[in-house]
């Protein structure tokens, strides 16, 4: 069995299990009561018909789930059988008889049974240790040990501080790229730098999301902070890829998926990021001058719909050409009237002045 605290994005069934036992959920209330009483328990969640061949003895209840009832039933030696979403109690004091030939590294009877049940069926098995206050979740080949809430909160706080620093740095390099775009001086190296920072921010956010799954209702404030820090990151990354993806390069979704799959050491390799974006292997990023199409800059103009941005980029082809266009030319774009053309022109001027002012104020 694989004991994991890895990337939960690929483990949808484990996420399902963690959501069921997160603080604030009825099942977690029952688990906490069992831990305090130090009685231990084995709880199995699944379709009764698909796992009933493992049953030996027990009491059929077929009653609605309540945390207190599960706590009382756990005092008996056998397992408590719940439906998949833990809203109904099927049986209690059930002796489970999984295939003994299934390999198990567990030493305790309860944990060994839970592991084999999870491997043999599609059920979720929750084993609560009698003496060590440990809650182990078994799903397929995975074992996941729940961490204490105080530990998760401390890790989440530390991760939020890291995310805040990374986001500040991302904003700096993104603002610098914007200034270079208005000066028509951006290079592939500058673009790669923003993509790297964006991916680093996203990966820290994923780490915090893992903690939030397990924290449940205890993570509300952290979730609010995370949402604020991540505002605009995904949209800006997509716009950046749209701006600089080679004309015959990979699809945007393909590039994003490849970025997400990069190993940590690959993320810091400029050439790897450039190739992921669709540029040739021997391309020297510092020497390649690029002109953006304008998606990212236009996306920063308030109340400008995505469809209009597409029409503008489709007509002018580049930010450079757009900046040279007058109001009369903008009006010719489908969906852009005289008022909107004026707003776009004024917005571009303001963005240019702000970007250049921020760039040169640090010198």
Neighbours of 131 (CB within 10 A): 8
Q: Name the 3-class secondary structure at 264.
A: helix
Residues contacting 118, CB < 8 A, separation 6+: 124, 125, 138, 139, 140, 141, 142
CA distance 348 to 344: 6
DSSP 76-135: SSSEEEE-TTSSEEEEEEEEE---TTS-----SHHHHHHHHHHHHSS-EEEEE-SSS--E
Predicted confidence band of residue 188 (pLDDT cuts 50, 70, 90): very high
Q: What is the mean pLDDT of residues 218-247?
A: 95
Query: In the prediction, which pLDDT does 347 show?
Result: 93
Neighbours of 9 (CB within 10 A): 11
Tens-place pLDDT, residues 331-345: 999 999 999 999 999
Within the chain, how many helices (H) and strands (E) appear? 17, 9
CA distance 251 to 262: 17
Predicted confidence band of residue 5 (pLDDT cuts 50, 70, 90): very low
Query: Which residue segments constitute the domains of the chain, with CATH numbers given?
Result: 2-146 (3.40.1700.10), 147-291 (1.20.1260.110), 293-358 (1.10.150.20)
Q: What is the mean pLDDT of residues 173-188?
A: 94
Per the listing, tokens 């002018």 go with 316
Query: In the prediction, which pLDDT does 8 show?
Result: 44
Q: What is the mean pLDDT of residues 229-258?
A: 93
Residue 21 confidence (pLDDT) above 90: yes
């Amino acid at each position: 069995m694989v004991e994991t605290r890895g990337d939960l994005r690929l483990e949808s069934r484990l996420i399902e299990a963690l959501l069921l036992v997160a603080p604030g959920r009825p099942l977690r209330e029952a688990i906490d009561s069992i831990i305090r009483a130090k009685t231990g328990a084995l709880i199995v969640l699944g379709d009764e018909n698909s796992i009933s061949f493992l049953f030996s003895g027990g009491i059929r209840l077929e009653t609605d789930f309540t945390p207190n009832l599960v706590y009382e039933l756990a005092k008996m030696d056998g397992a408590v059988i719940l439906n998949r979403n833990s809203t109904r109690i099927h049986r209690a004091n059930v002796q489970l008889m999984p295939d003994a030939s299934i390999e198990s590294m567990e030493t305790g009877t309860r944990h060994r049974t839970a592991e084999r049940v999870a491997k043999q069926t599609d059920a979720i098995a929750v084993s609560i240790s009698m003496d060590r206050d440990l809650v182990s979740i078994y799903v397929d080949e995975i074992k996941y040990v729940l961490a204490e809430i105080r530990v998760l909160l401390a890790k989440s706080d530390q991760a939020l501080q890291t995310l805040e620093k990374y986001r500040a740095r991302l904003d700096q390099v993104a603002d610098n790229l914007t200034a270079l775009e208005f000066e028509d001086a951006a290079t592939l190296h500058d673009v790669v730098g923003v993509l790297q920072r964006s991916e680093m921010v996203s990966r820290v956010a994923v780490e915090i999301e893992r903690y939030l799954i397990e924290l449940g209702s205890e993570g509300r404030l952290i979730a609010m902070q995370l949402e604020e820090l991540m505002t605009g990151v995904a949209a800006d990354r997509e716009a950046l890829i749209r701006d600089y993806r080679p004309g015959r390069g990979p699809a945007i979704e393909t590039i994003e998926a490849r970025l997400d799959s990069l190993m940590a050491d690959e993320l810091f390799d400029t050439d790897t990021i450039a190739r992921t974006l669709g540029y040739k292997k021997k391309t020297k990023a510092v020497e390649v001058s690029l002109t953006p199409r304008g998606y990212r800059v236009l996306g920063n103009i308030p109340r400008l719909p995505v469809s209009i941005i597409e029409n503008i980029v489709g007509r002018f082809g580049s930010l450079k050409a757009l900046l040279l266009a007058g109001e009369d030319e903008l009006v010719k774009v489908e969906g852009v009237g005289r008022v909107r053309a004026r707003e776009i022109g004024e917005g571009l001027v303001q963005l240019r002045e702000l970007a250049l002012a921020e760039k040169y104020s640090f010198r």
